Structure formats: structure tokens, C-alpha cells
Structure 1
Amino acid sequence: MRLWSIHPDLLDRSALVAGWREGLLAQKVLRGLTTGYRSHPQLERFRTLPDPVAGIATWLHALADGADERGYRFDRTRVVVPAGAERLELTDGQLALEWAHLRGKVTARDPAWLERLTEPRPHPMFDLVPGPVADWERAPRPEA
């Protein structure tokens, strides 16, 4: 499961579609409707919010907005609450790690998309702050 911290406009088609699918699974987990993935580290940051379900819904709606701009139609009726004003902090270290991860994936599966990846921007619900890779991140850390 990868709930990207990167702006949906920068995600290639595969990352956007997979993010939608995985975000819907995360919503189900946060609602207590599944026994799997309950301890998944990607969910830790949403659990810090007063209403984690509203947080993942806000994340999902921004993904759907990015899909709409490209002519894709994600079924927003699957998101259980409207987008809210939920905000989370995102460290520049975490953004850099995800940026490198996305660039690596795109290099392999959609090299033409790589030219769009000139500068990382955070997903609209994140406020960028200085700091290291998040404690919950399980992806390998880049060499210092």
C-alpha cells in the first residue's frame, strides 16, 4: 500500500489508479470493516487526526480531482464522507524519499511521464515542513 504524499497531478496513470484503489482499502481499514492491513504503517499518519476517516476521504477526493483533470472518472460515491479541511504535516525528507521512489517506478513503466517530474509538490492536504523521513516509512532510506 502506498498512499502517496506527492501531488496527484504528478502521479503517472499507474500510481494514480493504484493510489485510488489503495486509498479505498485504507478507508475500509480505518472504518474497522476489514481484518487485514490494520497495522499497515501508511495508516499511522491518518490515525493522528481527530477523524481518520475524514482524513482519508480528504486524501481520496484530491486524488479524484487529479483524475478528473485527466479525464478519468473515479467513483466518488465510494468515498464515505465529503472532503474536509483535514491537514497533515509532511517532512521534506519524506517527500524526497517518495519523489525518488516515484521517479524510479516511472523510469521503468512510463519513461515519457518522467519529463513531467521536474519538481516535487505535496498532495493538497499536506503542509511541507523541514524534517527527516517519517518514522512510519518502511521503504529503504536513500544513502546519505
Structure 2
Amino acid sequence: MRLWSVHPRFYDRQALTACWREGLLAQAVIADPSRRGYANHPQLQRFRAAQDPLATIGDYLSSVVDEADARGYRFAREKILRTGPVERIPVARGQLEYEWGHLLRKLQVRTPAAWERWHSLPLPDPHPLFVVEDGPIADWERVG
């Protein structure tokens, strides 16, 4: 599961659709904690720590579907169970840098035109749910 901290405008088609599917799975797990599967996935920690986890993952998904709409894709917005208002979640600069490098490597292989467009950008904007703070890669990240 990858719930990117990077703004959805930087995703290629594969990352956007995967993030939508995985975000819906995260929403299902947050809505029903007894669900099996990804119930203990470390990336869910930052959503579960929010005051309203279901609205927080809903706001996350809303930005993903907004980007899909802008590209002419048809994601089912009605699958979002609840939205905010919610507080923005801090993301460490080190985490955003790590994810940006990870995404750029994927873009270079899958979508060279997107890589060419974005590779010289030192740090992307974060997903609208997140606010960047100083700090290292998150403890929950699986660094490969």
C-alpha cells in the first residue's frame, strides 16, 4: 500500500489509479477496524492518529479524485464515505524527499514523459492534506 504524501498532480496514470484503489482499501479498514488484510499497515498510522480518521482519509481521497476529474478519468467520488473539515497532517521533509525519489524512479521506467517533466524539481508540493515540517523519513516507512 502506498498512500503518497506527494501532490496527485505529479502521479502518472498508474500511480493515480493505484493510489485511488489503495486509498479506498485504507478507508474500508479505517471504517471497519475488524477487517482483515491491511488492518495493521503502518501507513494507516497517520490517518488513525487524526481526530476524525474517516473524514481524514476521505479528504485524502477527495484530492485524488479531483486530480482524476481534471484528467478526464471517471473515479467514483460517491465511494468516499465522509470528508472534513479536518486538520492538515504534518509530513516530514525527509519523508517527502524519500517518496519523491521513489516516485521519480517509477516514472522514469513507466512514464518517461512525466519523468522528463518533473525530474529536475527538487521537492514537489505535498498532497493538500499534508503540511511539510522539518524531519527525517517516517518511522513507518519501509526503506528499501
Confirm or deny: 8 A CA contact 1:93 1:133 kept in the other structure.
yes
Residues 35 and 20 of structure 1: CA distance in aligned 2, closer, same or farther (over 3 Å): same
SS in 2 for 1:73: coil
Report the Cα offset of residue 81 of structure 1: 1.0
User: Is 1:14 equivalent to 2:18 in the alignment?
Assistant: no
Report the Cα offset of residue 112 of structure 1: 1.1
Confirm or deny: 8 A CA contact 2:42 2:140 kept in the other structure.
yes
Letter in 1 for 2:36: T
User: Is 1:129 equivalent to 2:133 in the alignment?
Assistant: yes
- CA distance in structure 1 between the partners assigned to 2:19 and 2:143 by the alignment: 16
Task: Give the aligned length.
Answer: 140
Confirm or deny: 8 A CA contact 1:10 1:116 kept in the other structure.
no
Deviation string, structure 1 residues 81-136 (Cα, Å, up to 9, x no partner): 13433310011100000000000111111111112214311000101111000111
Q: Give the aligned CA root-mean-square deviation in angstroms.
A: 1.2
Q: Which runs of 5+ in 1 are unaligned?
A: none
Q: Which residue is 1:92 aligned to?
A: 93
Report the Cα offset of residue 50 of structure 1: 1.1
- Report the TM-score when normalising by structure 1: 0.93
Confirm or deny: 8 A CA contact 2:54 2:83 kept in the other structure.
no
Letter in 2 for 1:89: P
Deviation string, structure 1 residues 12-31 (Cα, Å, up to 9, x no partner): 11000000000000000011
Q: Which residue is 1:107 aligned to?
A: 108
Q: Which runs of 5+ in 2 are unaligned?
A: none
SS in 1 for 2:90: strand
SS in 2 for 1:2: coil
- CA distance in structure 2 between the partners assigned to 1:45 and 1:82 by the alignment: 16
- CA distance in structure 2 between the partners assigned to 1:20 and 1:116 by the alignment: 23
- CA distance in structure 2 between the partners assigned to 1:43 and 1:122 by the alignment: 17
- Report the TM-score when normalising by structure 2: 0.93
